[in-house]
């Protein structure tokens, strides 16, 4: 855990130092313009980002309890297959029902539009 904190702090410090050097370069443009400040700034930023990435990938963050049983497939795996098949059937039925509902809504909208056109024709004629 100490390595993770050290890497994170070092990465943030290096990145901030690189950003500060870029700020100093931009500030010096008005007076002398020291382009040598840009040379160490970009490697510092890259180095800081790499340290932060390495800190986030440390395996020391995970606490593994070795006493726990390993994950094995369940003994009644056929039961899970049946549940999955039932679930697939329910999903397929729901898809069919939602399609039917959509078609009925379209028919209702078409019937309402047809009634409106009949009314407008009857009123105009």
pLDDT tens for 28-71 read: 888 877 788 888 899 999 999 998 888 887 665 555 666 666 66
pLDDT > 70 in the chain, percent: 83
At 60 the pLDDT is 56
CB 52 within 8 A of CB 8: yes
- pLDDT tens-digit series, residues 68-111: 666 666 676 677 778 889 999 999 999 999 999 999 999 999 99
Extents of the domains making up the chain: 2-61, 74-125
At 65 the pLDDT is 64
At 104 the pLDDT is 95
At 90 the pLDDT is 95
CB 15 within 8 A of CB 52: yes
At 45 the pLDDT is 92
* Lookup: tokens for 21: 């050097």
């Amino acid at each position: 855990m100490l390595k993770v904190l050290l890497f994170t702090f070092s990465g943030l410090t290096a990145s901030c130092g690189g950003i500060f050097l870029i700020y100093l370069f931009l500030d010096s443009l008005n007076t002398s313009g020291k382009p040598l400040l840009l040379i160490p700034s970009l490697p510092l930023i890259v180095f800081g980002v790499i340290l932060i990435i390495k800190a986030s990938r440390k395996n020391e963050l995970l606490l593994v309890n070795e006493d726990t049983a390993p994950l094995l497939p369940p003994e009644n795996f056929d039961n899970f297959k049946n549940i999955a098949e039932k679930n697939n059937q329910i999903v397929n039925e729901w898809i069919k029902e939602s399609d039917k509902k959509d078609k009925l809504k379209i028919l209702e909208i078409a019937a309402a539009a047809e009634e409106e056109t009949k009314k407008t024709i009857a009123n105009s004629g």
